[in-house]
Amino acid sequence: MPILQLVDVYKRFNDFNAVSGISLNILDGEFLTVVGPSGSGKTTLLRMLAGMEAPSDGNITLRGELINNVPAKERPTCLVFQSLALFPHKTVGENIEFPLKVKNIPPAQRKARALELLQMLRLPESYYAKNVMKCSGGEKQRVALARAFAYDPDVLLFDEPLSALDYKLKKVLEKELKDLHRQSGKTFVYITHSLEEAMVMSDRIAVMRAGKIVQIGTPETIYANPEDEFVAEFFGEVNKFSVSLNEEWGWFSQDTESSLTLRLPTDWPGSEQATVIVRPEYMRFATSAHEFDNVISGTVFNEYSLGSRIQYQVRCGNKSVLVEIPRTLARNAAPDEQVMIGWNAADAFVAEA
Ligand code: ATP
């Protein structure tokens, strides 16, 4: 059941389409994340949902009612910014209670709700009287979230709310946001540059490019079955092989001088040029030429520790290929060591070149 429905929505600035014909159903209670390169129109889309911009064309409906020109304050939506927009000279409690004060809720009731929200956001009750500027970055972020919940909106819109925080705190808050989403049953629409954030938290991810949504689906679908090369590359590092079909070798990669076994999509148009994309974590070191559908040889020339995983750069013909394996399976590759690396056809994505 969609809570918000966009039908062929455009936003033009002069002659430029920042959002270009988006049709999208946002489901009641879902966690939808919008990702895309800088300038792809994410914030503009969110601002239209918030009522801070009106579409130039198309319709936005909320539970079936047209809301194109309904201003922000008359919508059951709340936008949480990266900059937080907290009132600096007020206490944590006053910040959280602000939306309730605007609604003329009596002070005792406001305080009770603020304390409930502090608890929900895992801030100590004593913070109620603390000046908000004396809070840490992560605490301020929680206060901003508590204030957003105090509005009691049906839809919470987030514009990169965690981007200013350090890695560890981000990881904590990602999980907390996901829990809050589950507990509250509200609809979350979330913009981020962090693919990890999108993967961890979302029910669905929408990938934007040049004002359009190029793919929407569960994190697993988008990661494992990208619609095209752009989406595949956007979601993390990839190895790309250009291959062409010939009678003698079948699918042949000139770069690595090897013939490759591909799993073509069911709707393959018959093209004889293809791009094969394999994520580094689907690459493995092989002990025999038949261990995987595809095995190519090369020399290890770099090794990077990524914490729980190790990434190797292997020179195969003209190509530098990334192999990423869990630390527990790490091998001590000597510099310039000759190795075989391989992957199974089912773990690669094939696009028309
Ligand atoms: P980022 O990830 O960098 O925040 P974004 O995907 O959120 O980018 P938007 O902020 O939506 O992108 O901007 C999309 C395009 O629209 C950009 O090219 C931007 O310059 C343009 N744009 C946005 N707002 C306006 C405006 N008020 N007037 C003119 N152009 C605008």
Whether 189 contacts 32, CB under 8 Å: yes
CA 24 – ligand 1 centroid, Å: 19
Q: Whose CA is nearest to atom 3 of ligand 1?
A: 38
Q: How confident is the model over 154-197, as pLDDT tens digits?
A: 999 999 888 877 788 788 888 888 988 998 899 999 999 888 88
Beta bridge pairs of residue 9: 22
pLDDT of res. 240: 94
Relative to beta strand 31-35, strand 187-191 is parallel
Q: What's the 343 CA to ligand 1 centre distance in angstroms?
A: 40
Mean pLDDT, the chain, as a whole number?
A: 91
pLDDT at 126 over 80: yes
Q: At what angle do helices 167-184 and 137-150 cross, to 10 degrees?
A: 20
What is the best residue among 9, 19, 20, 42 to mutate for testing ligand 1's pocket, by most ligand atoms within 8 Å of CB?
Answer: 42
CB of 42 shorter than 6 A to ligand 1: yes
Residue 83 in this model has a pLDDT that exceeds 70: no
Average pLDDT over residues 25-54: 96
Percent of the chain with pLDDT over 90: 68
Asked if residue 335 has pLDDT above 80, the reply is no
Q: Ligand 1 centroid to 80 CA: how many Å?
A: 18
How far apart (Å, rounded) are the C-alpha atoms in residues 122 and 250? 60
What pLDDT sits at residue 269? 92
Nearest to 138 by CA among 162, 105, 114, 110: 162
pLDDT value of residue 293: 97
Q: Which residue has the higher pLDDT, 333 or 204?
A: 204
Global pTM reads: 0.84
Instruction: Quote the pLDDT of residue 82.
Output: 65
Kindly list the structural domains of the chain, giving each domain's residue range(s) and its CATH number in brackets, ordered by start: 2-231 (3.40.50.300), 239-352 (2.40.50.100)
Q: How many residues does the chain have?
A: 353
Distance 50 CA to ligand 1 centre (A): 15
Ligand 1 within 6 A of CB of 163 = no
